Amino acid sequence: MTSEITTAYTFKPKKAGLGLRDAHYDTIQPHLNSLGFLEIHPENYFGAGAELKRLDELADLIPITFHGVGLSLGSSQGLSIPHLRKLRYLIDKFKPMAFSEHIAWSVSGNAHMPDLLPLPYSNETLEKVSDNIKLTQDFLGREILVENPSTYLRFKSTMSEDEFMSRIVEKTGCRILFDVNNLYVNSVNFLFDPYEYIDNLDAKNIGQIHLAGHSACDIDGKVCLIDTHSTNVAEEVWRLYEYTLIKKGTKPTLLEWDSNLPPIEEILLETQKATDIMNNIDNKKPMEHYREVMANAS
């Protein structure tokens, strides 16, 4: 274990990345040139075997990032040291460009839930989550990113989610994986302004961005959005993404598509769209932005 935390975050791919899923292994290789990186869930590689060998081959061809789903950073019982050891082993082996997890919990006692469950945003939770993040960074020897969750119920909170995220960054030195689709889903489900949420985020705290598709369902005549990762990115989410880049600068961006997978060519149209937005964002900055840049330069 090391107490030295790597804080430099210099990974700035000019092309969007893709969340690697099992079904992609046979089709992705000829398309790697169009992608900036691949993101994997390290838990899928905890057992040695064919998956590890296939990942080994891909890691020689394209940068890899890790996106954990099982650490349960929101657990009040602390973290699983065996889980952290397995993560450390894979991080030492593959040296991913980034490691991210979620502001959520999924473990209680010996029960492991298949969902990333929401937290109350309070001082008490802030302390617990921050302690868990510090332990993780210490154990893994690197700065981590933490993702804003999609939620379908909310606890009584004493602060907003964006304030909670900012205070976590202040306390731990981690950074934010900003999932634009999660924000949009939450803003519809809980009726708040997603643009104000983005305005409140500090640009330097955002280390990476996620994009994904969602689905809608009807609950007692009320529309509820579910973060299914099973469709194209919605137009509203593309607009929020563009707004984020204009206001906060270009960030490494990744597309998540997990179920109802279409042919890889169709998925890559979405990653290409994100790449095009990243590379053309300067042309879309409003005049106020240029005035600001000129004023700072003089």
Residue nearest to Fe ion (CB): 210
Q: How far is the CB of 233 from Fe ion (least distance, A)?
A: 12
For Fe ion, give the closer residue by CB, 89 or 102: 102
Instruction: Give the span between the Cα atoms of 111 and 70, in whole angstroms.
Output: 12
Contact 243, 286 (CB under 8 A): no
Instruction: Give the span between the Cα atoms of 110 and 80, in whole angstroms.
Output: 11
CB atoms within 10 A of CB 152: 16
For Fe ion, give the closer residue by CB, 122 or 215: 215
Q: How far is the CB of 179 from Fe ion (least distance, A)?
A: 4
Paired tokens of 208: 């990476």
DSSP string, 172-197: H--EEEEEHHHHHHHHHHTT--HHHH
* Largest Cα span, the chain: 59
Q: How far is the CB of 292 from Fe ion (least distance, A)?
A: 30
Q: How far is the CB of 121 from Fe ion (least distance, A)?
A: 19
Indicate the helix (H) or strand (E) that contains 255: strand 253-256
> For strand 215-219 and strand 64-67, is the pairing parallel, antiparallel, or unpaired?
unpaired
Residue 144 has phi, psi (to 5 degrees) of -115, 170
Q: How far is the CB of 72 from Fe ion (least distance, A)?
A: 16
Q: How far is the CB of 10 from Fe ion (least distance, A)?
A: 22
For Fe ion, give the closer residue by CB, 83 or 210: 210
* Contacting residues toward Fe ion, per CB under 5 A: 179, 210
Instruction: Give the span between the Cα atoms of 47 and 51, in whole angstroms.
Output: 9
Of residues 25, 71, 77, the one with CA closest to residue 51 = 25
For Fe ion, give the closer residue by CB, 210 or 214: 210
Q: How far is the CB of 177 from Fe ion (least distance, A)?
A: 7
CB atoms within 10 A of CB 70: 18
For Fe ion, give the closer residue by CB, 210 or 248: 210
